[in-house]
Chain A
């Protein structure tokens, strides 16, 4: 595994098959020096070196990336749920002129001067966005893009001017653009620690206010929570945590460290406090992986690596998230489709039985196929599926209900007919219009709703089409008295 592989992997998972093929073609043909370096790396040794805290600069890089992941994930969660993700983007680009001015303050990379300059510039940027949307008819997206690019351009002007100066040439300001975790110093890390500590404390103290204003700002204000102040405080902390992340991630990509870990957590949980924890976790994971690969890759920019790390985690959550992941959704959809299919087969069997189509105690596959308008093979497949769930047994070409199957079938038919009756009686829908709706609803009606329907319909026994609605006694009698009735067949007895 090498970083090149990781990138390709990330692309491929996003179904960019073309890109995967393309890049695979390249990997062997191009022997870039840095790629070879990476390929020749002794991974175990590098891992030990990176995480052993022996080397001062590595220690700073590791601690720094943990801190930035923590603070970005924490604050990013709030901007994701407030739908302000792109405000984070604008903010992070807008800090650049502040970085340059902070450098000009005493012509050195004094972390504090740069921090103050950048925070002020970031806040000026967000203030300008709201001034633009308030005083002109420009929409928020336009204002965001405008401020983002304008501030960034001013920043680039200043940075290029500084680099022209004799002292500015080796200023290392270019590190602020794409990030270099290895360039972190002790001062930088202590600044990061302070900001992270403040962020964690403030979120802890004002969690209630942050939650209420994020969910429903109008209600929060009406109950006396100073929503504007919470907003301004959040923006200030956001600017501060963006700025401390700058040196490691870079101006261009720092917004991704705010958005991606938080969005990952958003896919994994339904509670805000868990989202905060998970987002910080994902942020730390992405930060450390990025710093590590940047260290191994010798001079590869850290920012892109951290972002790719974060995106990889997001991709995993996107596909494999337990509740909101694409695979989980697809699986649930499939499960419910399969269940619907089973229940429809059961219903068909019930209808055959009801119409006296059961010979002795079961029905032939041919009858079932006829009823469902299918081939015999399909009917066999469906019956086997029922058998797999214990609802039926299949013997040569005859299908038998098990007691459970009979019970379930009666329930489905009851649901269907109850719903038809309910729609005709209570919603005044013509009897010939209710079937399709009932076809869908019969599979999802829960027991409590069924009880309620029965009560409202005065325990009616006949549906709008004149067919009898199976009552609780019809359903449970068969299950209780095994094989007592023509419709039910105990498997043992048949053999």
Chain B
């Protein structure tokens, strides 16, 4: 066991990553923050619209899109990646619709069939063309966030900004943030009440497809960092934590950002301590935050109910 769990060294775990090793962990922490924040912002809408499992489906099914895009373009460039993800995202939605609209198979089973098929195709292509794709099973599962500091730097006007994937992720977060600000009202209405949205001239179908497109882009950018399955956690954990605390969407967005910061920080520390996969460590950090919030709220509820003054039967005499 001592081999498995190393001794906890306060300085090494909590301080060193942000001081001596900032060069290395700074980028990783920042990347984690960007990934969790953009996933979490999109995830808020998934949770509100009860589409959390579409996030699950899309995060699995971008894999074949990614692999085919890499094979097609022969590179791991940003644009082929986005194109592949978009096509894969659209295909997933179409497949799910084709299965559950045209047969009596229900939506949950349709989601399961569609994403597992696409993911299996992606995995198989990855193993067959492992030389060409430069993606392996490990990357698909754990992500490569640890390699972010080793990536070539993007320079703008002679100034080094940051590693390629980090800059890309920052761009995605910026776009997601701007879209949310620009369409805040429309998204809110369409998420709560389809009928009202229609009456206000907002086409819920467009909102849905737009959201799926953004989801595909976000998922594929996060994919490289944290892998296919951990992305789901990034999508759901922040929003779930936020919706325990508040019911207002704007507050949820704010809490998501805080949650992202906490899980990136906890994740890096956990990784330094336990020497495990960073992506998974960030999710575990985020889950710990969720668990604490859950426990605190349950405790508050308990306090509240134990000193409840009116019993239902006594008010009955009204």
Q: Provided the pairs A32-B128, A303-B123, A308-B124 are in contact, do residues A141 and B141 lie with their beta carbons within 8 angstroms?
A: no
Contact B287 A266 (CB under 8 A): no
Q: How far is the CB of B1 from chain A (nearest CB, A)?
A: 8
Q: Does A311 contact B (CB under 8 A)?
A: yes
Q: List the B side residues contacting A438 at CB < 8 Å.
A: none
Chain A residue, CB-CB nearest to B112 = A259
Q: List the B side residues contacting A260 at CB < 8 Å.
A: 112-113, 116-117
Q: How far is the CB of B233 from chain A (nearest CB, A)?
A: 3
Q: Does A256 contact B (CB under 8 A)?
A: yes
A152-160, A203-211, A342-350 - the one binding chain B: A152-160
Contact A22 B120 (CB under 8 A): no
Q: Does A453 contact B (CB under 8 A)?
A: no
Chain A residue, CB-CB nearest to B228 = A252
Contact B280 A85 (CB under 8 A): no
Contact B53 A34 (CB under 8 A): no
Contact A255 B4 (CB under 8 A): no
How many Å lie between the Cα of A423 and that of B141 in the bound state? 64
Interface bits A36-68 vs B (CB < 8 Å: 1, else 0): 000000000000000000000000000000000
Q: Does B217 contact A (CB under 8 A)?
A: no
Contact A85 B109 (CB under 8 A): yes
Contact A142 B236 (CB under 8 A): yes
Contact among A141, A144, A304 with B51 in the assembled complex (CB-CB below 8 Å): A141
Contact among B127, B131, B235, B243 with A145 in the assembled complex (CB-CB below 8 Å): B235
Q: Does B72 contact A (CB under 8 A)?
A: yes
Q: Does B36 contact A (CB under 8 A)?
A: no
Contact A19 B68 (CB under 8 A): yes
Interface bits B72-106 vs A (CB < 8 Å: 1, else 0): 10000000000000010001000100110011111
Q: List the B side residues contacting A164 at CB < 8 Å.
A: 275-276
How many Å lie between the Cα of A152 and that of B56 in the bound state? 13
Contact A160 B121 (CB under 8 A): no
How many Å lie between the Cα of A299 and that of B110 in the bound state? 30
Contact B235 A86 (CB under 8 A): no
**From residue 264 to 307 of chain B, which have CB atoms closer than 8 A to chain A?**
270, 274-277, 279-281, 283-284, 287, 290, 294, 297-298
Contact A253 B244 (CB under 8 A): no
Q: Provided the pairs A85-B108, A149-B283, A326-B103 are in contact, do residues A305 and B124 lie with their beta carbons within 8 angstroms?
A: yes
How many Å lie between the Cα of A19 and that of B72 in the bound state? 10
Q: Provided the pairs A305-B124, A308-B124 are in contact, do residues A153 and B284 lie with their beta carbons within 8 angstroms?
A: yes
Q: Does B40 contact A (CB under 8 A)?
A: no
Contact B116 A307 (CB under 8 A): yes
Contact A32 B116 (CB under 8 A): no
A7-15, A214-222, A353-361 - the one binding chain B: A7-15
Chain A residue, CB-CB nearest to B244 = A136
Q: Provided the pairs A16-B91, A30-B71, A253-B119 are in contact, do residues A267 and B4 lie with their beta carbons within 8 angstroms?
A: no
Q: Does B229 contact A (CB under 8 A)?
A: yes
Q: How far is the CB of A305 from chain B (nearest CB, A)?
A: 7
How many Å lie between the Cα of A321 and that of B131 in the bound state? 40
Contact B52 A145 (CB under 8 A): yes
Contact A142 B276 (CB under 8 A): no
Contact B105 A263 (CB under 8 A): yes
Q: List the B side residues contacting A262 at CB < 8 Å.
A: 109
Q: List the B side residues contacting A351 at CB < 8 Å.
A: none
How many Å lie between the Cα of A153 and that of B288 in the bound state? 12
Q: How far is the CB of B20 from chain A (nearest CB, A)?
A: 22
Contact B128 A300 (CB under 8 A): yes
Contact B230 A156 (CB under 8 A): yes
Interface bits A95-115 vs B (CB < 8 Å: 1, else 0): 000000000100000000000
Q: How many A-B residue pairs have CB under 8 A?
A: 246
Contact B244 A150 (CB under 8 A): no
**From residue 226 to 278 of chain B, which have CB atoms closer than 8 A to chain A?**
228-230, 232-237, 239-240, 243-244, 270, 274-277
Contact among B87, B91, B102, B297 with A329 in the assembled complex (CB-CB below 8 Å): B102
Q: List the A side residues contacting B87 at CB < 8 Å.
A: 18
Contact B116 A142 (CB under 8 A): no
How many Å lie between the Cα of A253 and that of B117 in the bound state? 9
How many Å lie between the Cα of A152 and that of B228 in the bound state? 11
Contact B240 A311 (CB under 8 A): no
Contact B237 A150 (CB under 8 A): yes
Q: Does A426 contact B (CB under 8 A)?
A: no
Q: Provided the pairs A19-B68, A253-B116 are in contact, do residues A138 and B129 lie with their beta carbons within 8 angstroms?
A: no
Q: Does B125 contact A (CB under 8 A)?
A: yes
Contact among A4, A142, A162, A255 with B240 in the assembled complex (CB-CB below 8 Å): A142
Q: Does B196 contact A (CB under 8 A)?
A: no
Contact B106 A146 (CB under 8 A): no
Q: Provided the pairs A135-B298, A174-B137, A252-B119 are in contact, do residues A157 and B284 lie with their beta carbons within 8 angstroms?
A: yes
Contact among A84, A160, A321, A324 with B277 in the assembled complex (CB-CB below 8 Å): A160
Q: Does B25 contact A (CB under 8 A)?
A: no
Q: Does A35 contact B (CB under 8 A)?
A: yes
Q: List the B side residues contacting A449 at CB < 8 Å.
A: none
Q: Does B19 contact A (CB under 8 A)?
A: no
Contact B123 A267 (CB under 8 A): no
Q: Does A137 contact B (CB under 8 A)?
A: yes
Chain B residue, CB-CB nearest to A96 = B229
Report 7 cross-chain contacts, Cβ distance below 8 Å, ordered by A residue.
Answer: A16-B91, A149-B283, A150-B283, A153-B280, A154-B280, A157-B284, A267-B105
Residues of A within 8 A of B (CB): 3-4, 7, 10-11, 14, 16, 18-19, 22-23, 26, 30, 32-35, 80, 83-86, 88-89, 93, 104, 132, 135-139, 141-146, 148-150, 152-158, 160-162, 164-166, 174, 177-178, 252-253, 255-256, 259-260, 262-263, 266-267, 299-301, 303-305, 307-308, 311, 314, 318, 321, 324-326, 329
